[in-house]
């Protein structure tokens, strides 16, 4: 979702290894048509981005329930957390009038199931001093050796492979450029198979989409763990801690981590949820995408590193910051949808927009903002941030 064909091209250029999986992050129905005249992303930026950054929302904490509770109780951004709803108590009635759609509710619940807590215990020395093309300090720059856990949020997509050929959760063997999903390796790369004389020929690749300011590079990926299905304090610990970087773009604040497994329970289970979410998203878009003034947006994240929570709010602006090609603008979202430290890397979904952006930080009370991302021109406003 939220990836354009243009970005697929960029990914292919940047990541030859992943050539055949260049649409791995795409899950649902978004297609942004390319004019064939793509530009370098930052050649297209038309505004000063400095004023669009505030504070990132990576949480830093010791691990453990008591540490979480203390930070949560002392939160200064959203004391009481009235607008963050624990996922297990989220109901149709938390949606505002006019949006109490079963499809939208089910879509949010499916999104929640695919939301993961991302913990990182290492700071890469390669973090830059500033966000690209700005004078805004990059989070944790020059903090090598930092010993607290940093926590953000991620979002799952899944691909199944057999002898090097793959398909997405919808059963398609081709990405939107018409290229086959293909890997150079023909056997599962999981730990068990790496030491087996009979490695599995079938495997799943679970991708965790987050922000680069949460997980910056391969060095940090080696010290990253993803906790799945963390819905409540007592949820079983389902942790994936063997991940590598599949794709990274510091400019777009996008990092995709990859976990390879031939476990035929987790892969198919997640794949089924991805498929369900995609189908629901199509239905939700049918209901709302044509309502130009529809501003409802939602986020599922792990505030303060605790159990996942849902927030429902309003898109404030879909600000055009550049023009990518004839059909596609580059935009940055601001929204009232509630977030706290720990929400960095979560996806911001707006039912009136055919795109998603990565949550980046907070500008001032009641106004959060995303990283830049592609957006169909028909949805972006001719307005500078």
Give yes or no for residue 157 binding Zn ion (CB under 5 A).
no
Give me the least distance between CB of 174 and Zn ion, in Å please: 25
- Interface with Zn ion (CB under 5 A), residue total 8
Shorter beta-carbon distance to Zn ion: residue 187 or 332:
187
- Cα separation, 261 vs 65, in Å, equals 29
- Cα separation, 263 vs 212, in Å, equals 28
Give me the least distance between CB of 77 and Zn ion, in Å please: 5
Instruction: Burial-class residue 236 by CB neighbours within 10 Å (0-12, 13-18, 19+).
Output: exposed
- Cα separation, 363 vs 366, in Å, equals 8
Give me the least distance between CB of 192 and Zn ion, in Å please: 5
Give me the least distance between CB of 362 and Zn ion, in Å please: 11
Q: Which helix (H) or strand (E) holds 372?
A: strand 367-376
Task: Candidates 200, 325, 327, 331: give the one binding Zn ion (CB under 5 A).
Answer: 200
Task: Candidates 188, 254, 296, 372: give the one binding Zn ion (CB under 5 A).
Answer: 188
Instruction: Identify whether the C-beta of residue 157 lies closer than 8 Å to the C-beta of residue 24.
Output: yes
Give yes or no for residue 78 binding Zn ion (CB under 5 A).
yes
Give me the least distance between CB of 340 and Zn ion, in Å please: 3
Give me the least distance between CB of 311 and Zn ion, in Å please: 11
CA distances to 191, 198, 333, 353 from 187, in Å: 12, 9, 41, 39
Give yes or no for residue 262 binding Zn ion (CB under 5 A).
yes
Q: Tokens in use for 326?
A: 């004839």
Instruction: Burial-class residue 54 by CB neighbours within 10 Å (0-12, 13-18, 19+).
Output: middle
Task: Candidates 87, 108, 122, 193: give the one binding Zn ion (CB under 5 A).
Answer: 193
Give yes or no for residue 311 binding Zn ion (CB under 5 A).
no
Binding span for Zn ion by CB under 5 A among 107-115, 170-178, 185-193, 310-318: 185-193
Instruction: Identify whether the C-beta of residue 333 lies closer than 8 Å to the C-beta of residue 379.
Output: no
Binding span for Zn ion by CB under 5 A among 75-83, 93-101, 135-143, 239-247: 75-83
Longest alpha-carbon distance in the chain: 60
Give yes or no for residue 206 binding Zn ion (CB under 5 A).
no
The site for Zn ion (CB under 5 A) is made up of 75, 78, 188, 190, 193, 200, 262, 340
């Amino acid at each position: 979702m939220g990836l354009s064909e243009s970005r697929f091209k960029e990914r292919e250029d940047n990541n030859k290894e992943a050539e055949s999986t260049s649409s791995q992050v795409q899950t649902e129905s978004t297609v942004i048509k390319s004019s064939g005249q793509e530009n370098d992303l930052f050649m297209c930026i038309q505004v000063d981005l400095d004023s669009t950054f505030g504070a990132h929302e990576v949480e830093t904490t010791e691990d453990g329930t008591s540490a979480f509770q203390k930070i949560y109780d002392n939160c200064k951004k959203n004391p009481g957390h009235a607008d963050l709803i624990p996922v297990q108590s989220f109901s149709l009635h938390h949606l505002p009038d006019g949006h109490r759609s079963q499809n939208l509710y089910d879509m949010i619940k499916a999104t929640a199931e695919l939301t993961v807590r991302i913990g990182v215990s290492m700071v890469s020395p390669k973090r830059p001093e500033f966000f690209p093309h700005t004078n805004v300090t990059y989070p944790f720059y020059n903090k090598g050796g930092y010993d607290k856990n940093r926590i953000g949020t991620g979002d799952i997509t899944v691909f199944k492979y057999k002898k090097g050929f793959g398909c997405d959760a919808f059963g398609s063997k081709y990405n939107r450029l018409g290229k086959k999903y293909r890997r150079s390796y023909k056997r599962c790369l999981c730990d068990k198979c790496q030491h087996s004389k009979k490695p599995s020929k079938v495997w799943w690749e679970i991708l965790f989409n987050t922000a680069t300011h949460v997980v910056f590079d391969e060095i940090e990926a080696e010290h990253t763990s993803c906790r799945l299905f963390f819905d409540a304090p007592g949820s079983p610990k389902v942790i994936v801690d063997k991940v590598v970087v599949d794709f990274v773009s510091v400019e777009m604040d996008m990092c995709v981590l990859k976990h390879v497994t031939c476990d035929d329970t987790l892969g198919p289970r997640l794949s089924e949820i991805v498929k369900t979410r995609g189908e629901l998203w199509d239905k939700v878009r049918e209901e709302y995408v044509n309502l130009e003034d529809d501003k409802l947006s939602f986020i599922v994240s792990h505030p303060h590193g605790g159990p996942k929570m849902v927030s429902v709010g309003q898109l404030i602006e879909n600000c055009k910051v550049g023009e990518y090609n004839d059909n596609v603008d580059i935009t940055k979202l601001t929204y009232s949808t509630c977030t706290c430290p720990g929400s960095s890397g979560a996806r911001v979904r707006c039912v009136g927009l055919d795109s998603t952006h990565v949550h980046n930080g907070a500008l001032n009370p009641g106004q959060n903002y995303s990283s830049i991302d592609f957006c169909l021109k028909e949805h972006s406003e001719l307005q500078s941030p």
